[in-house]
Amino acid sequence: MRINIHGNRRQFHLTLGALLAAGTALPGGQAAAQDKPIRIIVPFAPGGSNDIVGRTMAQQLTPRLKRSVIVDNMPGAGGAIGSATVARAEADGNTLLLISSTFTMNASVMKLTYDPVKSFTPVAMLGMGPSVIVVAASLPVNSIKELIDYSKKNPGKVYFGSAGVASFQHFAIELFKLRTGADLTVVHYKGGGPALIDLAAGHVHVSLGSLIQMQTFLRAGKIKILGVAGQRRVDLIPDVPTLKETGVDVEVSNWWGLLAPAGTPTSVVDRFNREANAALAEPDMKKRFAGEGADPMPMSRPEFEKFMSDETAKWAKVARETGIKIE
C-alpha cells in the first residue's frame, strides 16, 4: 500500500491512525510511527486521583495496544491548560486526555480557549469514586457537625485545600458551604496531590476528594475521614456516615474518562473504547478500583457522551446556585 505524504498533513495522520488501529502492516519507515508513545495528558499535578487513574489505565492499555502509553502531567487553571493542549493536538490517535468531573464544570465559570464539546471526541468512561471530606489529624473535630461548628467559631481561620479554581473540590466545597453555613476559606493548588500534602502537614485543615487519593495519608494517620459525599457508605470505611446521614444535603462523586482530539478517526477511538472497557472488566482492574473505594464504569461512546452532557448541565446549575466565579 502506498501512502502519499505530500498531500494534506492532517489527512495523512488521520489515515495513518486508522491503519494502525486496524492493525494494517505498514512498509519501511512508516511502521516506525507505531513506536511513538501514546500520551495520556493528565491536566493536574501528580498524586491526585486523576493522576492515579491515568497511570493505572496507561499500564493496562500498553500491552493491549502493543504500544507504549505514558502519562504527561500538565496542571493549571483547573485542568484547562492540559485540556487546551489536547484540543490543539494532532488528531492522529497519539494523544488522549484524562478527564474528571472538573472538565464538565469549567465551561460554566471560565472562558475557555477550546469548546468542551466540539474540540473533543468521547473515548471511554473509566470509573467513579466516592468523595470524602477529610481533615488534618491535628484538627480537633471528629464529625461533620463538629467541623461545621468549629469553622463557625473560628471564622476565616479554617482553610480548605482545593485542587484549583473551578476544580471538582472547589465546586463541591462551595455547595457544602451553601448548604451548611460552614465558614471555610478556600486555598487553591494546582492539583489534589499538592493540596493533600499540605493537608497532611497541617498547613490547611480540610479537603474533599476521591477516596482513591486519600489512602496513603489515611494509612499514615495524617488525616481523618469525617463523611462520605456519595449515595451510600463505602465498604472500606463502613463506620463513616454519608453526608445525608449527618443531615447535610450534598452528594458529589468524582469520575474519570478519556477524550481524544476532535477528528480522531472513528476506528481509532472505537478501538480505544473496546480496549479500555476490556481492561475495566478484568478481575485485577476491578480489584484495583475496589481496593481504592472506586467502581469501574464501562460505557459505550454514545453513553459516555450523554453522561458528560448531563454532568455539564448539573454543574452549571450548581455554579448558578453558589455564585462561583473566576476572580
Confidence category of residue 34, pLDDT binned at 50, 70, 90: low
pLDDT number for residue 216: 86
Q: What pLDDT is stored for residue 89 in this prediction? A: 97
Instruction: Say if residues 216 and 152 touch (Cβ distance below 8 Å).
Output: no
- The answer to whether residue 197 scores a pLDDT higher than 90 is yes
From the list 173, 175, 174, 189, the residue with the least C-alpha distance to 135 is 173
pLDDT tens-digit readout, 135-167: 999 999 999 999 999 999 999 999 999 988 778
Q: Which pLDDT value is given to residue 57?
A: 95
Question: 189 or 190: which carries more pLDDT confidence?
Answer: 189
Residue 13: is its pLDDT beyond 70? no
> What mean pLDDT value characterizes the chain?
87
Fold of 130-246: D-Maltodextrin-Binding Protein; domain 2 (3.40.190)
Please give the single-letter amino acid code of residue 244: K
pLDDT value for 327:
58
Contact criterion met (CB below 8 Å) for 231 and 238: no
This prediction has a pTM of 0.78
* Mean pLDDT calculated for residue range 78-100: 95
**For range 294-314, the mean pLDDT:** 95
Q: What does the pLDDT look like over 36-74, one tens digit per residue?
A: 899 999 998 898 888 989 999 999 999 999 999 999 999
pLDDT at 208 over 70: yes
Instruction: Give me the CATH topology for the region 9-129+254-322.
Output: D-Maltodextrin-Binding Protein; domain 2 (3.40.190)
- pLDDT of 262 > 80? The answer is yes
Whether the predicted pLDDT of 202 surpasses 80: yes
Lowest-pLDDT choice from 17-21, 175-179, 181-185: 17-21
- For residues 296 and 77, the model is more confident at 296
Report CA-CA distances (Å) from 45 to 9, 48, 154: 33, 7, 31
Coil, strand, or helix at residue 178? Answer: helix
Task: Tell me what pLDDT residue 22 has.
Answer: 42
Check pLDDT > 60 for residue 23.
Answer: no
Say if 9-129+254-322 and 130-246 have the same CATH topology.
Answer: yes
- Burial track 68-91 (b if 16+ CB lie within 10 A, e otherwise): ebebebbbbbbbbbbbbbbbebeb
Q: Which helix (H) or strand (E) holds 54?
A: helix 49-65
Question: Hey, where are the domains in the chain?
Answer: 9-129+254-322, 130-246
Q: Cα–Cα distance between 108 and 143 in angstroms, integer?
A: 32
